[in-house]
Amino acid sequence: MSSSDPAIDRLSAILARLRAPDGCPWDREQTHQSIKGQLLEECYEVLEAIDRNSPEELKEELGDLLLHVLFHAQMASERGAFTFCDVAEGLSEKLIRRHPHVFGDASAKNADEVITHWEQSKRKEKPERQSIFDGIPRELPALLRAQKYQGKASKLGLDWSDSEGPKAKIAEELEEVNRAAAEGDPKRIEEEIGDLLFAVVNLARHLHVNAECALSGAA
């Protein structure tokens, strides 16, 4: 594989060497499944570096994240599935398709229209998806997944017009929690707490706050 970028080519060659029959025993044993947890950890370390506002840390953590992207691509290339160049080329084509207002004849006067173009292009690319909720990964953290579902539902008109709706829903759900707690039913308490959290996430979305980041900052 050659990318025309010496740094990427060097890194790819190092990974290929590590995965070679006479390479590193640990690297040779790894699979997509065995290192997927580490990939998630690296994503969170990138987020932490961003929060620290440290360019040096961010550079290092982005490098660690890139390592995992290249590692997965290397494993795929070994079985003839795809290469890192295929990944990069696929991403380039996707970005062009999803920005017709830049690379085509469409127009976008604001960010909302950009998102509309993006969603329209995505639907054309993935016609097999039967529901607007398809494609939301189950592996997402619960708060983030809830906010994604709510955002999708909003596009179908299933939403409040402003933040007063979620505020009232929070008060309603809190009453339900109190009733469940008074009854002492653990299963119902858990369900009502879930409904309350879902309502809080909805309020966060209406206030343009990422609920996952907000909770992380408070923890």
Could you give the CA distance from residue 85 to residue 103 in angstroms, rounded to a whole number?
A: 22
Could you give the CA distance from residue 116 to residue 107 in angstroms, rounded to a whole number?
A: 11
Render pLDDT for 78-114 as a digit per residue (tens, 0 to 9). Answer: 999 999 999 999 999 999 999 999 999 999 999 989 9
CATH code for the structural domain at 6-82: 1.10.287.1080
Angle subtended at Cα 37 by Cα 34 and Cα 42, rounded to the nearest 5 degrees = 125
Instruction: Show the tokens assigned to 168.
Output: 């009232």
Please check the confidence at residue 3 and state whether its pLDDT lies above 80: no
Mean of all residue pLDDT scores within the chain: 93
Regarding the domain delimited by 137-218, which CATH topology (the fold level of the hierarchy) does it fall under?
Answer: Helix Hairpins (1.10.287)
Q: What would the DSSP string read from start to end of 171-211?
A: HHHHHHHHHHHHHT-HHHHHHHHHHHHHHHHHHHHHTT--H
Percent of the chain topping pLDDT 90: 79
Show me where the domains of the chain are located. 6-82, 83-127, 137-218
Output the pLDDT for position 126. Answer: 81
Output the pLDDT for position 133. Answer: 83
Render pLDDT for 180-210 as a digit per residue (tens, 0 to 9). Answer: 999 999 999 999 999 999 999 999 999 999 9
More confident site: 125 or 60? 60
Percent of the chain topping pLDDT 70: 99
pLDDT average, residue stretch 148-173: 94
Could you give the CA distance from residue 78 to residue 214 in angstroms, rounded to a whole number?
A: 41
Residues in the chain: 219
More confident site: 155 or 211? 211
pLDDT band, residue 1 (cuts 50/70/90): low
Render pLDDT for 56-82 as a digit per residue (tens, 0 to 9). Answer: 999 999 999 999 999 999 999 999 999
Please check the confidence at residue 130 and state whether its pLDDT lies above 90: no
The domains spanning 6-82 and 137-218 adopt the same CATH topology: yes
Please check the confidence at residue 169 and state whether its pLDDT lies above 90: yes
Output the pLDDT for position 11. Answer: 95
Q: Of 77, 75, 47, whose CA–CA distance to 217 is shortest?
A: 47
Output the pLDDT for position 139. Answer: 86
pLDDT average, residue stretch 31-42: 94
Instruction: Show the tokens assigned to 146.
Output: 């809830």
Output the pLDDT for position 2. Answer: 61
